[in-house]
Amino acid sequence: MKIGILGEVFPGENRVALTPDSARQLGKLGHTCSVVSGAGLKAGISDAAYAEAGVTVYPDAQSLCAEVDVIAKVRPPTSDEVKLFRNGQTLISFIYPAQNSELLEELKARGVTTIAMDMVPRISRAQKMDALSSMANIAGYRAVIEAGNNFGRFFTGQVTAAGKIPPAKVLVVGAGVAGLAAIGTSVSLGAITYAFDVRPEVAEQIESMGAEFVFLEFEQAQDGAATGGYAAPSSPEFREKQLAKFRELAPDMDIVITTALIPGRPAPVLWTTDMVEAMKPGSVIVDLAAERGGNCELTRPDEKIVTDNGVTIVGYTDFPSRMAAQSSMLYANNVRHFIFDLTPGKDGVIVQNMEDDVIRGSTVTHAGDITFPPPPPKVKAIAAAKPKEKPKELTLEEKRAKEAADFRQATRMQVSLLGIGTVLMLLAGYYAPPSFMAHFVVFMLACFVGFQVIWNVSHSLHTPLMAVTNAVSGIIILGAVAQIGSSSWLVAILGAISVLIAAINIGGGFLVTRRMLAMFQKS
Q: Are 325 and 96 in contact (CB under 8 A)?
A: no
Chain-centre distance of CA 453, in angstroms? 45
From the list 130, 197, 254, 318, the catalytic residue is 130
**Alpha-helical segments (H) within 279-395:** 324-342, 357-362
From the list 62, 63, 124, 127, the catalytic residue is 127
Question: Is 452 labeled as catalytic in the residue annotation?
Answer: no
Q: What SS3 state is found at 71? A: strand
Pairing of strands 255-258, 169-173: parallel
From the list 58, 194, 230, 331, the catalytic residue is 230
Question: Is 15 labeled as catalytic in the residue annotation?
Answer: no
From the list 93, 133, 186, 327, the catalytic residue is 133
Question: Is 133 labeled as catalytic in the residue annotation?
Answer: yes
Q: Are 91 and 112 in contact (CB under 8 A)?
A: yes
From the list 15, 75, 122, 142, the catalytic residue is 122
Q: Are 450 and 443 in contact (CB under 8 A)?
A: no
Instruction: Name residues whose C-beta falls within 8 Å of residue 240's C-beta, 6 or more positions apart in sequence.
Output: none
Q: Are 264 and 299 in contact (CB under 8 A)?
A: no
DSSP 391-412: PPPPPHHHHHHHHHHHHHHHHH
Question: Is 142 labeled as catalytic in the residue annotation?
Answer: no
Question: Is 322 labeled as catalytic in the residue annotation?
Answer: no
Helices 434-455, 396-431: crossing angle, 10 deg rounding: 160
- Output phi, psi for 120, to 5 deg: -60, 125
> Would you name the residues annotated as active-site residues?
122, 127, 130, 133, 230
